[in-house]
Amino acid sequence: MAATPSHLISTSISISIILLIFSSLMEFLVLASANPTSPALLLHSLPAMVLPLYLSTPNSSFRTSSNPRRLLQRSESLNRPNARMRLYDDLLRNGYYTTRLWIGTPPQRFALIVDTGSTVTYVPCASCEMCGRHQDPKFDPEESSTYKAVKCNIDCTCDSDKVNCIYERQYAEMSTSSGVLGEDLISFGNQSELAPQRAVFGCENLETGDLYSQPADGIMGLGRGDLSVVDQLVDKGAISDSFSLCYGGMDIGGGSMVLGGFTTPSDMVFTNSNPVRSPYYNLDLKEIHIAGKRLSLNPSVFDGKHGTVLDSGTTYAYLPEAAFLAFKDGIMKELSSLKQIRGPDPNYNDICFSTDESEVSHPSDTFPAVDMVFGSGKKFTLSPENYLFRHSKVRGAYCLGVFQNGKDPTTLLGGIVVRNTLVTYDRENSKIGFWKTNCSELWERLHESVSPPAMPPASDGKNSTPGATPTLAPTGAPPYVLPGELQIGKITFDMSLNISYTDLKPHITELAEFIAQELEVNTSQVHMLKFAANGNDSRISWAVFPADSTDSISNTTAAVIVARLTEQRLQFPVMFGSYELLGWRVEPKEKRSWWQRSYVVALSILGILVIALSVVGLWFLWRHRQRTVNPYKPVNAAAPEQELQPL
């Protein structure tokens, strides 16, 4: 029987009350259980240059069910704050992108790899004796007044003493990380609307393999899971259930990240991402087109095992065997006129092509576009920079950044596929969006303006670096415009490198050359002012002078140099360790008096006069000596008497 209006009202009220009670109950359970559930032993691929990466199924303790509380927050998701964060490093040169997080009170800074395939965030602990030497000092819980250990409970894996909760992670290339779980304030930098939040993270006591040797301090887990930073912030209601990554393009590096939602561009291309399909962020990929021509493949080829996975922590793209062979053949048909050459590493059979050097800066004029077509029928176009990487030994040559994923039927799309692409992981609506853009001009194109809040108060604690927070990604114009038409005489800056004075001293000339290269100035313009030991590190003062052809540094050039310095964009070989900028100063061209401006001319004239007078004086001296040696005597002049000598 149909319900009467009063019944409908009563039913609606009852449902609302039930939902309210359920929401309150869930919030109570989340707040009452600050300790995470048992972390899964997740196998995931860290960046590799060319070796195929393999994904393995996580154990049964991994949870992928969505939180019911998030379903009740959709109407207000865009009203929540977000955290804008700068990305550093480069996917192909460094193998990863990092961001900066500050943990504790006072805040201790860390450079963490952003990884959508990891579900835990961890940093080396001060007590760790089996941790490598990384970019920043280890986290010291005793120096943080807000740190709290996560005590052993039924929802976590406990240590052997049954005192603290622990975590363990193992990766496909066999590197491992393990340690205790702690909770502390996490800060997100000076471009963040989001205030510091308490979150659970790992304090490493052991790391092996690539994790031990990499410069980055640790990993920021952006995957799905109770220990994920995103999940924790969403569960607290601090941000909406979304985050975005924007990787810099070929030869640029860096980029931006947003934790939380924002108004996405109207022409962003979305595809479904089913959280139940796999524990990773998957795409509903159906077809691949090369130069507008569809590859003859069954759509099911992209749905094997974990499906099509988008992973920010993987460098290249890896396709199932059938898809890779079709892709390779399609590319080679389009490039039949190009000469195929050997790859940069003889240990791998890279597919590389040599082009005319005049086309080096415009690979899109030579290489075809590649389209990814999703289940909705929408397609996203990849530029050559999204499937190629530069040959490191041959100018004008490019290599295929797509490889066969062994016998694994998973399609794994790494960071190369989304260079210069804003990728929005809209977890709330189970979809992922792509928007082609210049990531260095992201904020300008999105027409957003955010007034950043102040960072937590500074202190003298260890690894406390609030003054070195990341800045906004640079726009097309110089990010540091110096006031007025300043005549710049030199730019000085101090840096600290985590390498000893003794080890660095023999290579100081090489370092100066790398600095000049990174700042795009001549080596002769870079001068070392001071060089001293600073504990186990080295402290160096540098100056950048105008080029030989000019007497000042232009405002634009100075702005670019300062931007690269302050945004920590200088890339040095591993032998120099990591660096920290301690300060910089732009010194104006000195105002000189008439004498200072004209002293060269005056000295030249004076020199000429001195030389002329010297010549005249020497001539007179010579004449005088000539007269002394051969004196003139008149014919009738009397000869002086000669002294008589005895016979």
Q: Which residue has the higher pLDDT, 93 or 543?
A: 543
Which residues, at least 6 apart from 237, have a Cβ–Cβ distance to it below 8 Å?
69, 73, 80
State residue 481's pLDDT score. 45
The arithmetic mean of pLDDT across residues 365-381, rounded, is 94
- Mean per-residue pLDDT over the chain, rounded: 78
Contact residues for 538 (Cβ-Cβ < 8 A; gap 6+) = 496, 497, 499, 500, 501, 504, 531, 532
Sheet holding 488-497, edge to edge: 526-534, 537-544, 488-497, 579-588
Using the Cα atoms of residue 516, residue 519, residue 525 and residue 527 in order, give the sign of their dihedral: negative
Q: How many helices (H) and strands (E) does the chain have?
A: 11, 31
Burial 38-55 (b: 16+ CB within 10 A, else e): bbbbbbbbbbbebbbbbb
CA pair distance 561, 549, nearest whole angstrom: 18
CA angle 70, 313, 118 (to 5 degrees): 45
User: What residue type is assigned to position 466 of the chain?
Assistant: P
* Least confident stretch, 157-166, 437-446, 526-535: 437-446
What's the whole-model pTM score?
Answer: 0.64
Identify the residue with better confidence: 114 or 633: 114
Chain segment 319-350, per-residue pLDDT in tens: 999 999 999 999 999 999 999 999 998 888 89
CA separation for the pair 463, 230 (Å, rounded) = 25
pLDDT exceeds 80 at position 419: yes
pLDDT interval class at 636 (50, 70, 90): low
- Give the span between the Cα atoms of 114 and 121, in whole angstroms: 9
Per-residue pLDDT band for 629 (boundaries 50, 70, 90) equals low
pLDDT digits (tens, 9 = 90+) for 582-626: 888 888 877 655 555 566 677 778 888 889 888 888 888 877 776
Residue 371 zone, left/alpha/beta (φ > 0; ψ -120 to 50; rest): beta
Mean pLDDT: which of 409-413, 601-605, 633-637 is highest? 409-413
Which CATH number, 2.40.50.140, 2.40.70.10, 3.40.50.720, 3.40.50.1370, labels domain 83-239? 2.40.70.10
- CA distance linking residue 624 with residue 615, whole number of Å: 14
635: tokens are: 């014919």
pLDDT at 50: 32
CA 252 – CA 245 distance, rounded (Å) = 15
pLDDT at 468 over 50: no
> Which tens digits make up the pLDDT trace of 263-293?
888 899 999 999 999 889 999 999 999 999 9
What whole-number distance in Å separates Cα of residue 135 and Cα of residue 10?
Answer: 62
**Predicted local distance difference test score (pLDDT) of residue 32:** 39
pLDDT value at position 233? 96
pLDDT band at 108 (very low <50, low <70, confident <90, very high): very high
Note the pLDDT tens digit of each residue in 6-50: 333 333 434 444 444 444 444 433 333 333 333 333 334 333 333
Q: What percent of the chain has pLDDT over 90?
A: 45
Single-letter residue type at 66:
S
Q: How many CB atoms lie within 10 A of CB 376?
A: 13
Q: Is the pLDDT of residue 522 over 90?
A: no
Using the Cα atoms of residue 627, residue 630, residue 636 and residue 637 in order, give the sign of their dihedral: positive
Is the Cβ–Cβ distance between 190 and 154 less than 8 Å?
A: no
pLDDT, residue 19, reads 41
Rounded Cα distance, 436 and 38, in Å: 38
Evaluated on CA atoms 3, 5, 10, 15, the torsion sign reads positive
Per the CB < 8 A criterion, the answer to whether 394 and 289 are in contact is no
Please determine, for residue 118, whether its predicted confidence score (pLDDT) is greater than 70.
Answer: yes
User: Is residue 395 over pLDDT 60?
Assistant: yes
Got the DSSP string for 478-537? -SSPPSSS--EEEEEEEEEESS-HHHHGGGHHHHHHHHHHHHTS-GGGEEEEEEEEETTE
What the block records as the tokens of 594 is: 């008439």
Residue 361 — pLDDT band, cuts 50, 70, 90?
Answer: low
| Per-residue pLDDT reduced to its tens digit, 490-517 | 899 999 888 888 888 888 888 888 888 7
Q: In sequence order, what DSSP letters do the residues of 543-607 get, joined into one string?
A: EEPPPTT-SSB-HHHHHHHHHHHHTT-----GGG--EEEEEEEEEEPPP--HHHHHHHHHHHHHH
Mean pLDDT (whole number) for 574-585: 80
Q: Are domains 265-439 and 488-588 of this chain identical in fold? A: no
Beta-bridge partner residues of 166: 180
pLDDT at 260 over 90: yes
The answer to whether the CB of 260 falls within 8 A of the CB of 82 is yes
- Token pair, residue 154, equals 């039924």
Query: Crossing angle for the helix pair 508-519 and 555-566, nearest 10 degrees?
Result: 120
Give residue 55's pLDDT.
38
Collapsed DSSP state (helix, strand, coil) of residue 336: coil
* Span 265-439 CATH architecture: Beta Barrel (2.40)
Do residues 543 and 553 lie in contact, with contact meaning Cβ atoms separated by under 8 Å?
no
* Statement: residue 132 has pLDDT above 60: yes
- Write down the domain spans for the chain: 83-239, 265-439, 488-588
Q: How far apart are CA 349 and CA 338, in angstroms?
A: 17
3-state DSSP call for residue 50?
coil
pLDDT at 555 over 60: yes
pLDDT bucket at 485, cuts 50 / 70 / 90: low
Exposure of 273 in the CB half-sphere (CA atoms within 13 A): 27
Asked about 115 being catalytic, the answer comes back as yes
Q: Which of 89, 90, 115, 226 is catalytic?
A: 115
Q: Which range has the worst mean pLDDT, 21-35, 220-234, 318-332, 464-478?
A: 464-478
pLDDT at 130 (0 to 100): 92
Question: What is the spatial distance between Cα 291 and Cα 389, in angstroms, rounded to a whole number?
Answer: 19
Annotated catalytic residue, options 136, 241, 311, 426: 311
Rounded distance between C-alpha atoms, residue 557 and residue 562, angstroms: 9
- What pLDDT is stored for residue 626 in this prediction? 67
Tell me the C-alpha distance between 379 and 421, whole Å: 14
Q: What is the pLDDT of residue 372?
A: 97
Nearest Cα neighbor of 211 from 269, 181, 245, 170 is 170
CATH topology of domain 488-588: Alpha-Beta Plaits (3.30.70)
- Cα separation, 399 vs 353, whole angstroms: 6
Spatial distance between the Cα atoms of 180 and 206, rounded to a whole number of angstroms: 10
User: In this structure, what token pair is assigned to residue 346?
Assistant: 């003889």
438-441 contacts, C-beta under 8 A, 24 or more apart = 438/249, 438/476, 439/246, 439/247, 439/248, 439/249, 439/252, 439/254, 439/255, 439/256, 439/473, 440/248, 440/249, 440/252, 440/254, 440/255, 440/473, 440/474, 440/475, 440/476, 441/475, 441/476
Pick from 187, 193, 231, 189: nearest CA to 70: 231
